[in-house]
Amino acid sequence: MARPCLLPFFLLAAAAVLTSAPSGALAKSKLAKKSDDIVNGPLLTEKIKAKRTLIVGPDEEYKTVQSAIDAVPAGNTEWIIVHLRSGVHRHACCFPISPISFSFCFQEERGMGNGKGRTSISHESASADNAESAAFTVNADNVIVFGVSFRNSARSGLVNNPEIRSVSAMVAGDKVAFYHCAFYSPHHTLFDSTGRHYYESCYIQGNIDFIFGGGQSMFQCPEIFVKPDRRTAILGSITAQDRKAEDDASGFVFLKGKVYGVGEVYLGRVNAPDSRVIFADTYLSKTINPAGWTRIGYTGSTEKVMLAEVNCTGPGSDAAKRVPWSRRFTVNEASKYLTVDFINGKEWLPAFYY
Ligand SMILES: *[C@@H]1O[C@H](CO)[C@@H](O)[C@H](O)[C@H]1NC(C)=O
């Protein structure tokens, strides 16, 4: 057996979580199935049964998030909770690749889903290289984050400056979940690079290719905000998904979310021959260009790409002017993408919406 069959072990969160009384109904429910079953700190804390908690803050044993990450022994197979005191933690941090599961859970202080406004990991870095620019990097498997904001505060640069990549989070481990988190950056905000990932009730903001990479990911109830950026003449795209072959399991699924903002963008840009992105049951505001999708910067065939909309609503969902190679599925046709089975979520998520 390659890996012990345990839940992930690293919960990154905030300090009041352990002390707040678990709310009975939530703590008892096996899975958070409905929108009113809010995934909160006590629920996650109970589910992962961590034996160790590390606290990060200016007056705590661990002054930086990185020092808490570094305190975890190689080969750790048990859940560890890392509570972040509320405030801005100003440094980049990275979960290294680890031979066995890392299993961390970060939580912000309040533990009630409000923390994304109060607790952030913030770093200013722009580069021509996405990975190098990241404020937060997860290369380890089994990491859960609850209620933390990730911000790359790089300033908008000059037109045609190649150093415009400013990733807020790069997610390259397997079985990584974010609940009630937020991702801020002017550009290339969320590098969803590789592995199975789950984002529930997260806020993601950006302009060009701001959710990108080759991850196999589900975004449940996301709030996607398009920010104007006058540095480039082209219209940006929310997604640029990197699925390179038919047997590659990757793809981005957006469910029951809301897309709005300032200016105009495409839902996605073709970035590889088998790019796969689905927006389902999502409200699309006028910020979506009527063509819907673009192939700018891509010279290959669009024959095999799967860029699709399913049962979306709002003025941005009008099909009349969509590019002919985009797809429109019925809920039935798309059903295999519309549950956490798409990321084998029932096997590893401590809580999920559907
Ligand atoms: C279509 O989306 C709406 C919400 O936007 C939802 O209430 C409805 O159940 C969806 N229809 C199907 C068939 O899933």
Domain assignment present for residue 198? The answer is no
Question: What average pLDDT score do residues 33-58 get?
Answer: 74
Q: How many domains does the chain have?
A: 2
CA–centroid distance, residue 224 to ligand 1 (Å): 19
Are 287 and 144 part of one and the same domain?
no
Quote the domain boundaries for residue 75. 1-155+162-171
CA–centroid distance, residue 211 to ligand 1 (Å): 24
Q: Which sign does the torsion angle of CA 159, 162, 168, 174 carry?
A: positive
Question: What average pLDDT score do residues 39-67 get?
Answer: 84
pLDDT, tens digit, 9 for 90 and up, residues 147-196: 889 999 887 655 556 677 899 999 999 999 999 899 999 889 999 999 99
CA–centroid distance, residue 281 to ligand 1 (Å): 6
Are 4 and 82 part of one and the same domain?
yes
Residue among 258, 281, 312, 317 to mutate when testing ligand 1 (max atoms within 8 A of CB): 281
Q: DSSP character for 70?
A: H
CA proximity to 198, closest of 344, 98, 95: 344
Q: How far apart are CA 334 and CA 308, in angstroms?
A: 9
CA separation, residue 252 to residues 113, 128, 267, 354 (Å): 24, 24, 12, 16
3-state helix, strand, coil in the chain (%, to 5): 10, 35, 55
Average pLDDT, the chain: 83
pLDDT, tens digit, 9 for 90 and up, residues 288-301: 999 999 999 999 99
Active site annotation includes 341: no
Q: pLDDT class for 34, splitting at 50, 70, 90?
A: very low
Q: What is the CA radius of gyration of the chain?
A: 19
Q: How far apart are CA 149 and CA 168, in angstroms?
A: 9
pLDDT, tens digit, 9 for 90 and up, residues 242-262: 999 999 999 999 999 999 999
Q: How far apart are CA 36 and CA 352, in angstroms?
A: 12
Cβ–ligand 1 distance for 302 under 6 Å, the answer no
Name the token pair of 303: 């024959």
Are 20 and 140 part of one and the same domain?
yes
Are 219 and 317 part of one and the same domain?
yes
pLDDT, position 22: 33
Question: What average pLDDT score do residues 120-148 get?
Answer: 90
| Residue identifier of the C-alpha nearest atom 5 of ligand 1 | 281
Of 120, 147, 171, which one is at a domain's C-terminal end? 171
Strands 203-206 and 182-184: parallel
Q: How far apart are CA 80 and CA 65, in angstroms?
A: 13
**Amino acid of residue 111:** G
Are 150 and 217 part of one and the same domain?
no
Residue among 330, 331, 335 to mutate when testing ligand 1 (max atoms within 8 A of CB): 331
Are 118 and 222 part of one and the same domain?
no
Domain assignment present for residue 179? The answer is no
Cβ–ligand 1 distance for 35 under 6 Å, the answer no
pLDDT, position 4: 31
Are 9 and 151 part of one and the same domain?
yes
Domain assignment present for residue 195? The answer is no
CATH code of the domain covering residue 268: 2.160.20.10
Residue among 253, 259, 311, 313 to mutate when testing ligand 1 (max atoms within 8 A of CB): 311
